[in-house]
Amino acid sequence: MKHFIVGPVELYPFTKDIYNKDYFYFRTEEFGNMVKENMNRTSKLLNNNVENSLIYLTASGTAAMEAVIENCIANNDKALVINGGTFGKRFCELLKHHNAAYDSINLAWDEKLEWAHLLPYAQKGYTTLFVNLHETSTGQLYDIKILSDFCKENGMYLVVDAISTFLADDYDMEKYGIDVTIVSSQKGFCMSPGLSFISFSQRMKDKVLNNDFVKSQYFDFKDYFKNIERGQTPYTPAVFIMYELKAVLDYIDKIGGKDALLKIIEEKCIHFRKLAKENGLAFPEKYPLSNMLTPIICNDIKAGELVKHLRDKYELCVNPCGGALADKMFRVSHIGNTTVEDFDDLIEKIMLSINEIKNKEFAYDR
């Protein structure tokens, strides 16, 4: 099975091989030193120079989103959420669950975020803006400069879920004054699922270290900040994924750094979209797309049926969409261990599948 999904992605051989190698017991100085090195190298990729400002959780991206709300939103805070799809909605659901005061800017799935959407919320007492910078469910990549400028003008913290944009698109915490960045192991890092990383500005780190409102024990960031100084976590981490991280960081250095990696992904993205257009396939053009993935709009057949057909007959796995978009659109990822030749094959099989579905030429599942 070849995977063209956002995560878990098609893994590189050097990460798969981790599980065949020796490892340190995690409560040792050797493991702690490796973790500290990994954290420092990852912070550089994020362009965050605050010392010991990156922590990690053995948990999913949604757990990290919730933990950020638990640690960064006090009773007197008022949040604003960019809600343009599944993951923007998730921030709303989590804030509601924690009885946090919030409002949301609700966008239709094909509606581009503009400065005009933000203006009605200016100088209205909001303290924190939450955004899934790349709304993975639709492919839209929001304009980080617009969001950054708005937060600066309104004295707000900027919290970014960068899970499906980091290491696919350019990302810079210091340049845009980002206070919190959330990323996960299974997307841009191209590792196994199981770890989430949270990076903090100095002012948000200070807020977390001085808060007295966190009720969770497992997700109390004060404990994580204390432990990360020696490369440790309060509780058992996903040990092997930390070894995967070292291997991925070594790979990024080997190919020439973050910019080289972004160029590889961009080339695959451009190649696929060019082929898609040449074959009459449509993708959203009303809003900017991340290089992470391309959403393909289906007009003549049901998208979910095409996704299943590709998987069952051709062993090619692409991302379905959920909810109202389930029959309208599917998504193709450009990250992971794939090549432009793989995308040539994928386009060929997509076109064959469309024709076979239209003509009911798939006796294998009758």
Instruction: Residue count of the chain, please give it.
Output: 366
Structure confidence at residue 361 (pLDDT): 63
CATH topology identical between 12-254 and 257-365: no
Residue 335: per-residue pLDDT:
97
269-282 pLDDT tens trace? 999 999 999 999 99
Q: Long-range contact list for 257-260, CB < 8 A, 24+ apart?
A: 258/45, 258/167
pLDDT digits 0-9 by tens, 13-38: 999 999 998 888 999 999 999 999 99
Q: What is the pLDDT of residue 360?
A: 82
Residue whose tokens read 């581009």 = 112
pLDDT value of position 154: 98
C-alpha 6/C-alpha 334 separation (Å) is: 8
Ranges in the chain, pLDDT < 70: 361-366
- Give me the amino acid identity at 144: I
CATH number for the domain formed by residue range(s) 12-254: 3.40.640.10
257-365 is a CATH 3.30.450.20 domain: no
- Going from N- to C-terminal start, the domains of the chain cover 12-254, 257-365
Contact residues for 46 (Cβ-Cβ < 8 A; gap 6+): 54, 166, 171, 172, 173, 181, 199
Q: How many CA atoms lie within 13 A of 3 on its CB side?
A: 14
The answer to whether residues 128 and 159 touch, using CB atoms and an 8 Å cutoff, is yes
- Please answer whether residues 15 and 223 qualify as being in contact, where contact means their C-beta atoms are separated by less than 8 angstroms: no
Residue 22, pLDDT score:
87
Which structure tokens are listed for 211?
Answer: 């808060």
